[in-house]
Amino acid sequence: EAQVTQNPRYLITVTGKKLTVTCSQNMNHEYMSWYRQDPGLGLRQIYYSMNVEVTDKGDVPEGYKVSRKEKRNFPLILESPSPNQTSLYFCASSLRGSEQFFGPGTRLTVL
Amino acid sequence: GQQLNQSPQSMFIQEGEDVSMNCTSSSIFNTWLWYKQDPGEGPVLLIALYKAGELTSNGRLTAQFGITRKDSFLNISASIPSDVGIYFCAGRRDNTNAGKSTFGDGTTLTVKP
């Protein structure tokens, strides 16, 4: 089954404790992206990747890092999480960047 | 960054009614997309539009790519309870495998049986 998976689905952590949210897709898509969703603000793009070793900033990249060492994986790294990064995070993949398939989401709470 | 203004913010309608929502931008987009998000899940693509003036249907859903390339519309005919959810428009400047994606803030649809 074609899908985008994210782990963990729920995470509660404390300020400053480094964390990684994994994202994996099995559709051989070149394009992958991370978004955060906050009430009333829709989906805001954090980072995207056009292919292996090619990443670029979205609209809200501050406080986040990504890497794309393999085509199928696109982890999101929070080196020093802060409470304002409490949000619902979605990973997405696409063959060409337009029609995106979204993962189920990761709900992150930073205390 | 680029901004998409999506309206209305929310809609409460009776089952069987038609629904219209739209998205406007001050910038030109080359691709317009409409997604639906069910509660507790990720957004799912409904319709993709690649050409100015294009009108595309997917069952009871119809979307149009505005002639100016600065707006798009989504209509849902004869709504049913499972239409409940958040509808997002999204725009992309590039058709190629590059570029940022910009999403609207969403329209929350409630359908009363």
Residue B2 is predicted with a pLDDT of: 58
Measured between beta carbons, which residues in chain B are less than 8 angstroms from residue A105?
40-42
Confidence band for A2, pLDDT divided at 50, 70 and 90? confident
Express each pLDDT in A47-69 by its tens digit. Answer: 999 999 999 999 999 999 999 99
Q: What residues of A are in contact with residue B95 (Cβ under 8 Å)? A: 96, 98
Report residues of chain B scoring pLDDT below 70: 1-2, 95-99
Cα pseudo-dihedral B26, B29, B32, B35, rounded to 10:
-60
pLDDT in tens, A79-97: 999 999 999 999 999 987 7
Question: Which pLDDT does position B95 carry in this prediction?
Answer: 53
Average pLDDT score over residue span A69-75: 97
Q: Look at residue A97 in the predicted model and tell me its pLDDT.
A: 76
**Which positions ≥6 away from A18 have C-beta within 8 Å?**
A77, A78, A79, A80, A81
What is the overall mean pLDDT for chain A? Answer: 95
B67: phi then psi, degrees, rounded to nearest 5: -60, -35
The whole-number pLDDT of residue B18 equals 97
Q: Which of B38, B54, B97, B108 to mutate to test the interface with A (most CBs of A within 10 A)?
A: B97
Question: Residue written as tokens 């900033």?
Answer: A57
Terminal Cα distance for chain A, rounded: 36
Q: Give the residue from B77, B72, B63 showing the smallest Cα distance to B111.
A: B77
The residue of chain A with its CA nearest to that of B36 is A102
Q: Chain B residues within 8 A (CB-CB) of chain A?
A: 1, 6, 31, 33, 35, 40-45, 48, 50, 88, 90, 92, 94-106
Please judge whether B103 and A42 are an interchain contact, meaning their C-beta atoms are less than 8 angstroms apart.
yes
Segments of chain B assigned E as strands:
4-7, 10-14, 19-25, 31-37, 44-49, 55-58, 61-65, 71-76, 85-92, 101-103, 107-112
Name beta bridge partners: B4.
Answer: B25
pLDDT of B75 reads 98
Name the residue with tokens 């960047």: A97
